[in-house]
Amino acid sequence: MPKNKSAVIRHRIIDQMLTNKRRPYPTLEQLAAKCSAIIGSDVSTSTIEKDIRAMREQAPKGYSAPIVYSKLGGGYVYSEVGFSIAELSLNEEEWTALQFASELLYQYKEVPVFSNFKNAIERINTRFSLGIDGSEKLIDEVVQFEKAVHANGMEFIEFIYKAIKSKQGFTFNYRNIYKNKTSATSLIPYLIKEHRNRWYVIGWSTEKEKFTTYALDRMSGVETTDTIYKRRSDFNASTFFQHSTGIMESKAKPEEVLLTIHSPISNLVLLEPLHSTQKVIVEKPDAIQLSLKVLLNEEFTFKLLGMGSFCIVNKPASLKKTIKNAISLMNANYL
């Protein structure tokens, strides 16, 4: 199979033209022109001749492609009806979609447990002659995916994944940034979750006797325990964050929140809801009133403070007090 990326792309283009029933029997000149247009550089007819010879080679060097020249048609054709070097037939839109998928998967190529993404893409690329190479940023000049600033903690993902699969607990040292101290912790892991390019593990804390969330980039000294635990029946990954607006859990139950948000921020909130439970109660040209059922934790407070004077908490009273205290402390910083 050809290693040169441009050759792989040319072979696929040739294959597409040879299987095009609307325009059969393409000439060397037509094949060269099409390749030049798609690749963006001049491709000569002599290069196309070499490509055809390479495609005729037996696997694994080539594709065993039965390409022949038809004097009657005045061009090239597959002598075997229905033959194609691509067992998977993709149109241009599907090919573009697969390129996007390639780029997305390559975002995690440095994460050990996801390292096989790269191998999988390369195998698909070779098997179906797609010409995709995720190590070369084909899309970055047009579309840029969000990338993590740092990758601390990612080295634990594979370890934790295996612990979840084998129902094993593990111990680690955890740095509490609020209390500014590090302590030994044990956990029975249930779920690995990414949030805003950071990775977290949710599990049953034997010390706290509840499900707790830990950030992987604050962990160190991770070690597996020998004990095999019976999986608890009261954990549901699909509903655990049902009322959360971030990654933090809360001891309290979710509460109904009533907000008034003024324009132009109100337009943004309508386009990007604060939570899946968001409902519009009143909608006016200059403001909207919303109801939500969410956990009242620091993440939700930060979200409301981020909207500044455009957001007013109508209820509950406890949240109004929290926001008011936060604003007072902020104001004291600028006296």
Query: Residues 261, 325: one domain?
Result: yes
Task: Kindly report, residue by residue over 251-297, the tens digit of the pLDDT.
Answer: 678 999 999 999 999 999 999 999 999 999 999 999 999 999 999 98
Write the single-letter amino acid at 147: K
Query: Residues 124, 174: one domain?
Result: no
Do strands 219-228 and 168-176 pair parallel, antiparallel, or not at all (unpaired)? Answer: antiparallel
Cβ atoms of 245 and 300 within 8 Å: the answer is yes
Q: Determine the distance from the C-alpha atom of residue 232 to the mean position of all C-alpha atoms in its chain, rounded to a whole number.
A: 29
Give the predicted TM-score (pTM) of the model.
Answer: 0.62
Write the single-letter amino acid at 17: M
Query: Residues 59, 42: one domain?
Result: yes
Is pLDDT at 125 greater than 60 in this prediction? no
Question: Domain for residue 233, yes or no?
Answer: no
d(CA 274, CA 295) in angstroms, rounded, equals 12
Q: What is the CATH number of the domain that holds 13?
A: 1.10.10
Largest Cα–Cα separation, the chain: 90
Question: Domain for residue 121, yes or no?
Answer: yes
Question: Domain for residue 212, yes or no?
Answer: yes
pLDDT at 282 (0 to 100): 95
pLDDT at 3 (0 to 100): 47
DSSP strands (E only) in 75-197: 75-78, 168-176, 181-195
Q: How many C-beta atoms surround the C-beta of residue 128 within 10 A?
A: 19
Question: Domain for residue 209, yes or no?
Answer: yes
pLDDT at 2 (0 to 100): 44
Query: Residues 268, 324: one domain?
Result: yes
Host H or E run for residue 98: helix 92-106
Write the single-letter amino acid at 253: K
Range of the domain at 98: 91-147
Q: What is the CATH number of the domain that holds 191?
A: 2.30.30
Please count the structural domains in the chain: 4
d(CA 301, CA 186) in angstroms, rounded, equals 29
Which of 44, 78, 112 terminates a domain? The answer is: 78
pLDDT at 188 (0 to 100): 94
Query: Residues 223, 168: one domain?
Result: yes
Cβ atoms of 226 and 170 within 8 Å: the answer is no
Question: Domain for residue 33, yes or no?
Answer: yes
